[in-house]
Every structure is written in structure tokens, then in C-alpha cells.
């Protein structure tokens, strides 16, 4: 039990845990002490003087953000002295602050506005001319307006401590003080925009959003990010069916404060000029636009005429869509040949852990990473491939003294946070673990996280190693995309159906399908032509996609699909946490993959249920909850925005090992597979050109 102390705040007797900062102790008891520079989780700065309180027997006012609460302390946060102090502090902050709130991006959601409204004086004694300096463009996505800056150091601290980048500093002094970027007049950094989100005023603004709209003109939709497998929640600010901004408005997701550049700026594919919004069919060897009726009929006829079919699913579409797709394949087309691009060996992991109890689970969630006393990371470069994971690890090392052990083929940025790191030759990662055995044996509980380098039989060996550790060992396999895990859980595999149950009849894997003589393909939200040679003309190819990808170009029927921000449904991140995707906006002409599939199903006379376009994703989800092992999850929690772990540890998983098919696409912070090519914000930043994952990662 933590020790409690008694103290008095505004004449009320209260208690708090010993050592709690006064500002937090007050907050816990429902009293707000205003603050600018104080930010939970960051180092203390005491720069703004907004949090002043009156402590008994102290001659001067004290900063509540640095004062630990003590037994018997008598504190006032609400008396005449404090009111005057706050008014003066705000008057000072406003001496050079331009009163341009009517055009400032932050107007309406600005902490300075709110503070002045609540605590400020009615007038100002400052009649001198304000010091003005021009705004600065630090990168295509980060702008700085020095006159609006209140010098709270939040941006500097989030970049130093949270991001571990250290790209911001404070230069000059007094009235001339301003925030400076690391390259003099521009930034060289991760371009995450965390500094913009954390800025209490409109000093740091987003290149994608500035001077576009007012906060109260938009609606806000919190939904999982479309890109990597971490599943951050991003808030889309939408006006007139257009995404104006991506940010982390309420920090209510499993990502806490965090978003990387992809979550924050990588929504622009939605409005890309390259979106296809009209169906096309091939006529005289050319894809020509047509009506939906014609395209669906052509797809149905072509698929019906073929005797053998291959079906390829997506790592970006929803669980409902992938579940329906495998049903379409197995029950509709009656083909066993279904697969997707794999980047983590989930079946091998579930098999190795078969028979373990649901609680405490042997699978770790993203929150477990934050709380684990020790993490063993094998392979992967989370800083680029799983930015939120890297953020969680940095946070845990910084705030909870987590011990990080790394085995990798190259040195990765997280080595800076590591207790110990070893370079291993490709394929020798597991043997290399022996060197950590003694250290790991002293740790309480270890979370073992591994990239696509560890697969097949290595996973069995890894679990055997984990079993020898004394504590409760938990595992995380890292897969590339927003719903890579969901694709596996929903049975978009040739050997496994939904819930890791053996398929009634085993089919061909992706490479075998594409090399074989199948007569027709149905490819949904995937771009296999990027890696494999698909011989156009040989087979009948139906493609559902947002863009004219390499695969879409060889289609016989091309059906324009809706993007992840344009539909409901659920997705499962690489940690197995299921989240609800929310409809943010509609793009004219596109239909969701689920709707397209049910239209084709109906045209082919399949009875696969879920025909009503408006409610079908909910209906399919209910079917998933009823029938997929591990997915009978609490719908209420899901519906109110929580991330709910699926319970995918069941019996043994008899699967066909194909380690050669498991590979990461090694995305950097500025790439995102095929989807990333249509995000202009990602390629606009200068760092995008140089950024590479170290040699040997993710193979």
C-alpha cells in the first residue's frame, strides 16, 4: 500500500499518495490548478508560473507543478493573492502575444484563450508596440509562429523525451526567446507532429491544416489509423466529406498521446486524385469505365465461367470483409485457394502456445508493453515499422525503468534505450538469446516481441526458451499492416479457417496460386503483382481496390472500393486488440469491399447472408462473435471505443509451415506499402528520401 498523507486544500481536508505533486493531488480531488508547462509524464519545467499556489508559512507563492504534497501541508489555490498572480502571469504572456485568435488555427481549442477567459484580467497595461517576427516553415508539415509561443518547453520535452529525437531547442533570451529547429532554419526529424499536438497555443501549426478551417466547423471521428499494425486511434477532423486534419484530439486510444506521421498526415490518400471512383471492365484489352450493374454482372459471369478460383485478401480491409471474403471463397466459389500477404507467423505462435489459459494470457497487449518490467525485442525496427511500439518502449524505459534487451541483425535506434543489445547473424537470433539468459532470469516478467525474422520452427524454440524464464512470459508477433492480424484471425489462409481452425480442405498458398493454372482470381485490397508475375490474359481477374495499382491494371473487372476511413467494421492490431473502425466520410462512387462482395454473391446466386448494405457490417460482426473462436468479445466495450483483446489461444493449430512466405515489407516512417504511395504528405518531407531500415531487418 502506498503511504497516504493528509493535507488541506482551500480549507478542505484531503489525502493523497506521499510524493504526489500538488497539482496532481489537487486534480485527483477535483480541484483544477491551471498550468501551461506542466505535462504529465514529461520532466518538470516550472517555466510558466501559471500554477502558483499559496502554502502556509511560505513567504512566496510556490509552483504546484514541482511541489510534492507533504503531511499537514496547508494550501490555498483560490484566494485573492492567487487570483492576482494568475492575472499578472497572463498579462505578461499576452504582452507580445498577437491577438490574432480570429485567424489562428488554435482559436476555439487554445489553452491560452481558455485560461485568459477563466483567470485573466479584463484589461492590459501594456501599451508598447508588440515585437513581431515572421512565421517560419520548418518542414512541409511543421510551421512555427514565434509571437504566439508562450515558451512552455512542452514541444522540446516531447521531442527529447517522448520521441527521443531532440530536434527542438530554445534560443536567445528574454523577449527574443524562441523555439529553434535543429538545422537552423528547418527540421531534420521524424516529422511526427507530436510537438504540434502538445503545443497549448497556435505557435506550432500543421502544414496540412493551417488556415484551412475553424475547429467548430468540423465533426470529429476517432478511428484506428489505416497504416501499420499498431492500431493507434487517430481523430479525423471532417468537414463536408473532406478530412481536414488528423490528430490525437482526446488521447483516448491505446496509443495515449502518440501518433506518427502516418497516422497524423497519412490520411490524404482518401482524397488523392488517383482514386478510382468508377467501375471498369476490360474491352478490347482496355479497361473502360462502366456502370456498377454492368461491372458486377461481368465479375459474376467471369467467376461463374471459371472452374478454378484463387482468392487473395487484404491486410487493410476490415475483419468483416475478410471473414465474408473467406466465406465467399469457401462456401460460394467452393475453392480452398485463399491467402494474403503474410508478415508474421501467427499460426506458429498460437500453435506453440496451445493449451495455455486465457488468463493470465501468454499473449501480450500493447498496454502490457507499457507496464512490463522487461522487454526482449528480437528483430524488427519498431522506430520505423511499429512507431507506437517504439514510443511505448521509450516511455516505459523512461518512466518505469523497464529493461530492454535487443537481439537484431543490425543496430536499430532503440538500442539507445536498451539495457543490452546483441547483433546476431541471420537465422541465429534464437541461439543468441542464450547470452541474455542470466539477465532475463533475474527479471520479474518478460514480454518477448519479435519481427518477421522469427518464424516457423524458430517460434517453437523461442517459446521453449521463454518457458525456462521464471516469470510470466508473454509474446507479441509483429505484423505490418492495420489488419494483418485480422486477416489471419479471420481465416484468409489456405490451411486455416477463422479462429485458427483447420480448413475443411487445404488450398494453395499465395505463391502457388499465382504460379498455377487457376482460371480466375478475386483480389481484394491487395497488390500481389508488385511481387509476383501474374500473367494477364491467362486468367480472369477481378480486383477491388482504391487505386490503379499494378494488380488493378491487369484486372478484367475493376471495382472501386471505399478506404478505411469510409466505412464501419472492426480491425485487429498486431497485439490482437480489436477496435471498431468508424465511418468518417463518404467518397462518391466507391463502395465498401463488403458491399461489393455481397453484390457479386447475390449476382452469382450464393446465399451467404448479410445482404442489407446499411447494416451488413454489424451483422457480419455478430456472426464473427458467434462463430469465430476467440472473438466472442464484449461488444459494448468495443462500441464505446475501447480496444478489446481477442482470445486466440485455443487448441493446437495444425498448420502448414511456410516461413518463406513470411516477410515484412520493411516500411519506414515515410512509407506504407502500396497505400503509402498515394499519401503525398509522406513523400513531401525531405527525410523520406534518405530514410531506410538497417540492412537485414525484416527478412
Per-residue x/- marks for ligand FES, 401-440, CB under 6 A? ----------------------------------------
Between residue 212 and residue 241, which ones bind ligand SF4 under the rule CB under 6 A? 225, 227-228, 230-232
Nearest to 253 by CA among 398, 392, 448: 392
CA angle 297, 303, 307 (to 5 degrees): 150
Give CA–CA dist 126/158, Å, rounded: 32
Instruction: Report the greatest alpha carbon distance in the chain.
Output: 91
Looking at the Cβ atoms of 124 and 177, the one nearer to other proteins is 177
How many separate helices (H) and strands (E) can be counted in the chain?
Answer: 24, 28
Nearest to 93 by CA among 45, 36, 143, 52: 36
Residue 416, all three cell numbers: 539507445
Per-residue x/- marks for ligand FES, 42-71, CB under 6 A? ----xxxxxx-----------x-x------
**H/E element holding 224?**
strand 219-224
Q: 62 - beta bridge partners? A: 53
Which part of the chain contacts ligand FES (CB under 6 A), choosing from 40-48, 181-189, 421-429, 439-447? 40-48
The residue within the footprint of other proteins, chosen from 170, 420, 583, 611 (CB under 8 A), is: 170
Give CA–CA dist 369/373, Å, rounded: 9
Give CA–CA dist 215/110, Å, rounded: 10
Looking at the Cβ atoms of 446 and 681, the one nearer to ligand SF4 is 681
Looking at the Cβ atoms of 430 and 479, the one nearer to ligand SF4 is 479
User: Does residue 205 belong to the site contacting ligand FES (CB under 6 A)?
Assistant: no
Looking at the Cβ atoms of 156 and 663, the one nearer to other proteins is 156
Q: 74 - beta bridge partners? A: 8
Between residue 237 and residue 296, which ones bind ligand SF4 under the rule CB under 6 A? 255, 259-260, 262-263
Q: 234 - beta bridge partners? A: 223
Looking at the Cβ atoms of 33 and 151, the one nearer to ligand SF4 is 151
Give CA–CA dist 498/338, Å, rounded: 12
φ/ψ (deg, to 5) at 5: -120, 155
Q: Which does 253 bind (CB under 5 to 8 A by kind): ligand FES, ligand SF4, other proteins, none?
A: none
Q: Which does 50 bind (CB under 5 to 8 A by kind): ligand FES, other proteins, ligand SF4, none?
A: ligand FES
Give CA–CA dist 194/310, Å, rounded: 43
DSSP codes of every residue in 383-425: HHH-HHHHHHHHHHHHHH--EEEEEESS--GGGGG-SEEEE--
Looking at the Cβ atoms of 47 and 548, the one nearer to ligand FES is 47
Residue 523, all three cell numbers: 483480389
DSSP state of 188: -
The residue within the footprint of ligand SF4, chosen from 52, 69, 180, 194 (CB under 6 A), is: 194
A 10 A CB-CB count for 642 gives 17
The residue within the footprint of ligand SF4, chosen from 279, 302, 387, 564 (CB under 6 A), is: 387
DSSP state of 174: G
Residue with cell 461463374: 304
User: Does residue 22 belong to the site contacting ligand FES (CB under 6 A)?
Assistant: no
Residue 183, all three cell numbers: 538545422
User: Does residue 319 belong to the site contacting ligand FES (CB under 6 A)?
Assistant: no
Looking at the Cβ atoms of 150 and 590, the one nearer to ligand SF4 is 150
Which part of the chain contacts other proteins (CB under 8 A), choosing from 97-105, 164-172, 242-250, 455-463? 164-172
Q: Which does 388 bind (CB under 5 to 8 A by kind): ligand SF4, other proteins, ligand FES, none?
A: ligand SF4
Q: How many alpha carbons fall within 13 Å on the CB side of residue 540? A: 17
The residue within the footprint of other proteins, chosen from 163, 167, 225, 448 (CB under 8 A), is: 167
The residue within the footprint of other proteins, chosen from 166, 427, 470, 516 (CB under 8 A), is: 166
Tell me the CA distances in angstroms from 549 to 29, 584, 592, one per residue in order.
Answer: 56, 24, 18
DSSP state of 159: I
Between residue 105 and residue 164, which ones bind ligand FES under the rule CB under 6 A? 106-107, 110, 112-113, 148
Between residue 623 and residue 662, which ones bind ligand FES under the rule CB under 6 A? none
In the complex, the smallest distance separating the C-beta of residue 542 from other proteins, rounded to whole angstroms, is 54
Q: Which does 172 bind (CB under 5 to 8 A by kind): ligand SF4, other proteins, ligand FES, none?
A: other proteins
Which part of the chain contacts ligand FES (CB under 6 A), choosing from 32-40, 241-249, 274-282, 309-317? 32-40
The residue within the footprint of other proteins, chosen from 173, 307, 626, 689 (CB under 8 A), is: 173
Give CA–CA dist 523/506, Å, rounded: 19
Whether residue 360 has a cis bond before it, omega within 30° of 0: yes
The residue within the footprint of other proteins, chosen from 29, 66, 182, 308 (CB under 8 A), is: 182
In the complex, the smallest distance separating the C-beta of residue 247 from ligand SF4, rounded to whole angstroms, is 11
**b or e along 528-557 (b: 16 or more beta carbons within 10 Å of the residue's beta carbon)?**
bbeeeebeeeebbbbbbbbbbbebbebbbb
DSSP state of 573: -
Per-residue x/- marks for ligand SF4, 137-156, CB under 6 A? -----x------xxxxxxx-
The residue within the footprint of other proteins, chosen from 68, 98, 107, 169 (CB under 8 A), is: 169
Between residue 72 and residue 101, which ones bind ligand FES under the rule CB under 6 A? 101
Which part of the chain contacts ligand FES (CB under 6 A), choosing from 41-49, 414-422, 488-496, 553-561? 41-49
Residue 25, all three cell numbers: 493531488
Nearest to 376 by CA among 433, 428, 425, 423: 433
In the complex, the smallest distance separating the C-beta of residue 120 from ligand FES, rounded to whole angstroms, is 12
Q: How many alpha carbons fall within 13 Å on the CB side of residue 198? A: 25
Q: Which does 199 bind (CB under 5 to 8 A by kind): other proteins, ligand FES, ligand SF4, none?
A: ligand SF4
- Crossing angle of the two packed helices 616-627 and 319-327, in degrees rounded to 10: 70
The residue within the footprint of ligand SF4, chosen from 168, 299, 329, 543 (CB under 6 A), is: 168
Looking at the Cβ atoms of 182 and 501, the one nearer to other proteins is 182
Residues in the site for ligand SF4, rule: CB under 6 A?
Answer: 142, 149-155, 158-159, 163, 165, 167-168, 179, 187, 189-195, 198-201, 203-204, 225, 227-228, 230-232, 255, 259-260, 262-263, 387-388
Query: Given the rule CB under 8 A, which residues bind other proteins?
Result: 166-173, 180, 182
Amino acid at each position: 500500500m502506498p503511504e497516504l498523507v493528509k493535507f488541506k486544500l482551500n480549507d478542505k481536508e484531503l489525502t493523497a499518495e506521499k510524493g504526489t505533486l500538488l497539482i496532481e493531488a489537487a486534480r485527483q480531488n477535483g480541484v483544477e490548478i491551471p498550468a501551461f508547462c506542466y505535462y504529465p509524464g514529461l520532466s518538470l519545467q516550472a517555466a510558466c508560473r501559471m500554477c502558483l499556489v499559496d502554502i502556509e508559512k511560505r513567504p512566496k507563492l510556490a509552483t504546484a507543478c514541482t511541489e510534492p504534497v507533504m503531511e499537514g501541508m496547508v494550501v490555498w489555490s483560490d484566494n485573492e493573492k492567487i487570483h492576482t498572480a494568475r492575472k499578472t502571469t497572463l498579462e505578461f504572456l499576452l504582452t507580445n502575444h498577437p491577438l490574432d485568435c480570429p485567424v489562428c488555427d488554435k482559436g476555439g481549442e487554445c489553452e491560452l484563450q481558455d485560461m485568459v477567459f477563466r483567470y485573466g484580467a479584463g484589461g492590459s497595461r501594456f501599451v508598447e508596440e508588440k515585437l513581431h517576427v515572421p512565421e517560419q516553415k520548418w518542414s512541409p508539415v511543421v510551421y512555427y509562429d514565434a509571437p504566439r509561443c508562450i515558451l512552455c518547453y512542452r514541444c522540446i520535452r516531447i521531442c527529447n523525451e517522448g520521441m527521443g529525437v531532440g530536434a527542438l531547442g530554445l534560443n536567445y533570451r528574454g523577449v527574443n526567446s524562441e523555439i529553434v529547429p535543429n538545422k537552423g532554419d528547418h527540421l531534420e526529424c521524424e516529422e511526427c507532429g507530436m510537438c504540434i499536438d502538445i503545443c497549448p497555443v497556435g505557435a506550432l501549426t500543421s502544414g496540412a491544416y493551417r488556415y484551412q478551417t475553424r475547429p467548430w466547423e468540423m465533426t470529429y471521428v476517432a478511428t484506428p489509423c489505416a497504416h501499420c499494425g499498431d492500431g493507434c486511434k487517430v481523430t479525423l477532423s471532417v468537414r463536408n466529406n473532406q478530412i481536414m486534419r488528423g490528430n490525437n484530439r482526446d488521447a483516448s486510444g491505446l496509443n495515449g498521446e502518440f501518433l506518427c506521421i502516418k497516422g497524423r498526415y497519412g490520411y490524404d490518400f482518401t482524397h488523392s486524385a488517383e482514386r478510382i471512383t468508377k467501375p471498369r471492365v476490360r474491352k478490347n484489352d482496355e479497361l473502360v469505365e462502366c456502370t456498377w450493374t454492368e461491372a458486377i454482372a461481368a465479375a459474376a459471369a467471369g467467376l461463374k465461367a471459371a472452374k478454378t478460383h484463387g482468392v487473395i485478401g487484404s491486410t487493410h480491409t476490415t475483419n468483416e470483409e475478410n471473414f465474408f471474403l473467406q466465406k465467399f471463397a469457401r462456401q460460394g466459389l467452393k475453392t480452398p485457394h485463399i491467402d494474403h500477404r503474410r508478415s508474421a507467423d501467427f499460426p506458429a505462435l498460437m500453435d506453440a502456445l496451445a493449451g495455455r489459459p486465457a488468463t493470465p494470457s501468454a499473449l501480450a497487449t500493447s498496454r502490457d508493453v507499457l507496464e512490463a518490467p522487461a522487454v526482449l525485442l528480437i528483430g524488427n525496427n519498431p522506430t520505423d515499422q511499429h512507431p507506437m511500439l517504439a514510443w511505448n518502449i521509450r516511455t516505459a524505459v523512461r518512466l518505469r525503468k523497464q529493461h530492454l534487451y535487443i537481439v537484431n541483425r543490425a543496430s536499430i535506434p532503440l538500442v539507445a534505450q536498451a539495457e543490452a543489445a546483441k547483433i546476431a547473424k541471420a537465422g541465429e537470433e534464437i541461439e543468441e538469446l542464450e547470452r541474455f539468459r542470466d539477465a532475463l532470469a533475474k527479471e520479474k516478467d518478460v514480454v518477448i516481441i519479435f519481427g518477421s525474422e522469427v518464424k516457423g520452427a524458430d517460434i517453437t524454440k523461442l517459446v521453449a526458451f521463454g518457458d525456462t524464464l521464471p516469470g510470466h512470459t508473454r509474446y507479441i508477433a509483429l505484423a505490418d499492416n492495420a489488419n494483418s492480424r485480422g486477416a489471419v484471425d479471420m481465416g484468409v489462409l489456405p490451411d486455416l479457417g477463422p479462429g485458427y481452425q483447420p480448413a475443411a480442405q487445404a488450398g494453395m498458398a499465395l505463391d502457388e496460386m499465382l504460379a498455377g493454372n487457376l482460371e480466375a482470381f478475386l483480389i481484394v485490397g491487395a497488390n500481389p503483382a508488385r511481387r509476383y508475375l501474374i500473367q494477364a490474359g491467362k486468367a480472369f481477374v477481378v480486383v477491388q481496390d482504391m487505386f490503379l495499382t499494378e494488380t488493378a491494371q491487369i484486372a478484367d473487372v475493376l471495382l472501386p472500393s471505399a478506404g478505411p476511413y469510409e466505412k464501419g467494421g472492426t480491425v485487429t492490431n498486431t497485439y490482437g486488440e480489436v477496435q471498431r473502425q468508424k465511418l468518417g466520410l463518404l467518397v462518391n462512387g466507391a463502395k465498401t469491399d463488403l458491399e461489393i462482395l455481397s453484390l457479386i454473391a447475390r449476382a452469382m446466386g450464393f446465399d451467404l447472408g448479410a445482404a442489407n448494405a446499411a447494416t451488413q457490417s454489424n451483422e457480419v460482426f455478430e456472426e464473427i462473435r458467434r462463430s469465430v473462436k476467440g472473438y466472442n468479445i464484449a461488444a459494448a466495450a468495443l462500441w464505446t471505443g475501447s480496444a478489446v483483446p481477442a482470445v486466440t489461444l485455443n487448441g493446437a493449430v495444425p498448420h502448414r509451415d511456410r516461413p518463406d512466405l513470411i516477410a515484412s515489407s520493411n516500411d519506414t516512417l515515410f512509407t506504407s506499402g502500396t497505400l503509402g504511395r498515394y499519401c503525398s504528405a509522406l513523400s513531401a518531407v525531405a527525410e523520406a528520401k534518405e530514410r531506410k531500415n538497417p540492412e537485414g531487418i525484416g527478412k
